[in-house]
Amino acid sequence: MKRSVFLVLIIFSLCTYCKAQNAAIIKWNTLENLLHQKTDTTYVINFWATWCKPCVAELPFFIEQEKQLSNKPFKFYFISLDFKKDFTTRLIPFLEKHNINSAVYLLDEPDYNGWIDKVDNRWQGAIPATVIYNASANKRDFYEKEFTLEELIQTLKTYIQ
Amino acid sequence: MKNLMRTGAALIVILFMFSFKLINPGSYVPGDRARDFKLKNVNGKMVSLADFKDAKGFIVVFTCNHCPFSQAYEQRLIDLDKKYAAQGYPVIAINPNDKNVAPDDSYENMVSNAKEKGFTFPYLYDESQEIAQAYGAARTPHVFVLQKSAKDNIVKYVGAIDDNADEAGAVTKRYVEDAVNQLLDGKSIAVPSTKAVGCSIKWKKA
């Protein structure tokens, strides 16, 4: 009995550790829901990948703003377009190395043509790309570009009521 | 007379806007005329579409060295060229990236990459980025299938190579192959444009 309690404790502590990163693999349906939440929260959905230099350059700005706005109705999602086979070998180590605990989802939908237009029909497919929207403010923006810190702050400001 | 001057002034303003790229004409779409170019190949020679007297058309692909999506498609580009160059549709690869932004994509690195991977097709350096601008290439890889007409090259397909960058073995839709096959059979293109995720083109920083 004592031994099994001990084991359970070990498993729990291991899991706390492995949950340090909030990363998961998702399919289109999940992403579609994230893109259309009818609340008064502002959702910031950033498309990136570990190998994409401009994405990795702007990522700290987003994570910093996520912290800055944590007391306001903002929710950030980071959609990784890394290949699925690189989830444990590249994505997780990257998140650990940079101590990123934000909501990171690897989108496992290789037929890009099937969903790019559904994210935004202006999107040509290049990353980084970012969707920012607030359903109750009836406001939605799409950016196929790399943000500077200043540009990001100014853009998010327009969503602070 | 006054009206004429006004129209003239408006025209000049519009021309100026075009010349300074204030108006972005956007990406080529199927049906557009594709402009020719003269770009330096990895063997040091200049290459134009007009050089290919016997071609029926071209598989023009904007690609580069550093981008993982481009890398994932290198072998598939070689396979496409092997299959279609003999049928009149050679692959013409163009690297549009600025070497200051992406040092891996310098001309020297193109030469070594082409050699290492055994590229069978021209791999051209669009150093001024003028051709990528004109075609409206947005990412690497980005394909434009052209068909030669009496005077011009007409865009017939724009988009992705196929529907799975990660695993060549899991591909179910071969967009470029299908388009070229349909052109060879004299049919209309069933899927004339697609989108794909890719690396942004590394434009020169102003």
| pLDDT tens digits, B158-188 | 999 999 999 999 999 999 999 999 999 999 9
Residues of A (23-42) whose Cβ lies below 8 Å from B: none
pLDDT in tens, B187-198: 999 999 999 999
| Per-residue pLDDT at A127 | 96
Interface test with A, best of B197, B201, B203 (most A CBs within 10 A): B197
Cβ contact B95:B125 at 8 Å: yes
Torsion sign (Cα): A87, A91, A93, A95: negative
Q: Taking CA B204 as the corner, what is the angle to CA B143 and CA A157, rounded to the nearest 5 degrees?
A: 95
Q: How far is CA A11 from CA A1, A5, A17, A18, A49, in A?
A: 15, 10, 10, 10, 31
| Per-residue pLDDT at A22 | 79
Compute φ and ψ for A101, nearest 5 degrees.
Answer: -115, 10
- Relative to beta strand B33-34, strand B153-159 is antiparallel
| Per-residue pLDDT at A21 | 67
Look at A83 and B170 and tell me if their CB atoms are within 8 Å: no
Distance from CA of B4 to the nearest CA of A (A): 38
Residues of A (90-129) whose Cβ lies below 8 Å from B: 110-114, 116-117, 123-128
Residues of chain A contacting B138 with CB distance shorter than 8 Å: 124-126, 144
Cβ contact A23:A104 at 8 Å: yes
Q: Which residue has the tokens 């394909």?
A: B143
Cβ contact A84:A25 at 8 Å: yes
Q: Is the pLDDT of residue A18 over 50?
A: no
| Per-residue pLDDT at B21 | 39
Compute φ and ψ for A110, nearest 5 degrees.
Answer: -65, -20
- B167 in contact with chain A, both atoms CB, cutoff 8 A: yes
Diameter over CA atoms, chain B: 68
Residue of A51, A112, A146 lying closest to B196 (CB–CB): A112
Look at B194 and A113 and tell me if their CB atoms are within 8 Å: yes
- Relative to beta strand B57-62, strand B91-95 is parallel
pLDDT band at A5 (very low <50, low <70, confident <90, very high): low
- B199 in contact with chain A, both atoms CB, cutoff 8 A: yes
Distance from CA of B9 to the nearest CA of A (A): 33
Cβ contact B197:B165 at 8 Å: yes
For chain A, what is the mean pLDDT?
A: 90
ipTM exceeding cut-off 0.95 for this assembly? no
